[in-house]
Amino acid sequence: MFFNHLVRSIKPESYVLEIGPGSTPHPQSDIYLELKTSAKEAKSQRGNLAKIKYSKPVIYYGGGKFPFKDKEFDYVICSHVLEHVPDLRQFLNEVFRISPKGYFEYPTIIYEYLYNFRVHLNLLWYSRGCLYFLKKDSTSLTDFQPVQDVLLKSLVRGHDEIVTSLTNIMFQGFEWRRKFKTREVKTIKALTPKVKIEAKANH
């Protein structure tokens, strides 16, 4: 998670679920939900980060309906998961069913254009109460796969300077306190962050 400071609504008594904690679970999570998958797939879903031994209970499920009651949690943390989900609307409805508020975070289209992780299925951007999304396989992003593979190898080997220096355009995170709308779009226009790039000073 890149924007921990945006998680503001967890109270000391809150019961918190984290979906897909990966190798960096949030310290305020009480329980984790993980998708049942192969060891190889799980490693790929973690971005090739090392597997850790969780200190909190882990519930594994096979997809679809979450194994929890309505409003069972006070808060849900879901960081770097939405880009992997085949049925985004169904998944979000389950999140909204089990909790009244939470936090989402995911890579932006800028990050995907550079690295194009094959396990990522959705391109996403949240704006003005609506989560816009586009299935990645409906774009021609893979036309650049040979170039992206070179960049991805450099990232895996630790060359992450561009990501760490441009985190605010590479990723988006937001806290939600009520159910929001979703809209599937047909072009990348609605998914591209409006960024003001300052000219580099000459020395």
Residue 131 CB neighbours (<10 A) = 23
Domains of the chain: 4-179 (3.40.50)
What is the distance between the alpha carbons of residues 106 and 27, in angstroms, rounded to a whole number? 19
Q: What is the largest CA-CA distance in the chain?
A: 61
Going from the C-alpha of 159 to that of each of 58, 151, 165, 168, the distances in angstroms are: 32, 9, 12, 18
Statement: residue 101 has pLDDT above 70: yes
Which positions ≥6 away from 128 have C-beta within 8 Å? Answer: none
What local confidence, expressed as pLDDT, does residue 42 receive?
55
Q: Which residue do the tokens 């979450």 mark?
A: 66
What local confidence, expressed as pLDDT, does residue 195 receive?
75
Summarised one tens digit per residue, pLDDT across range 116-132 is 999 999 999 999 999 99
Statement: residue 43 has pLDDT above 70: no
Percent of the chain with pLDDT over 70: 89
Which positions ≥6 away from 32 have C-beta within 8 Å? Answer: 17, 18, 19, 21, 25, 54, 56, 57, 58, 59
Q: Are 114 and 151 in contact (CB under 8 A)?
A: yes
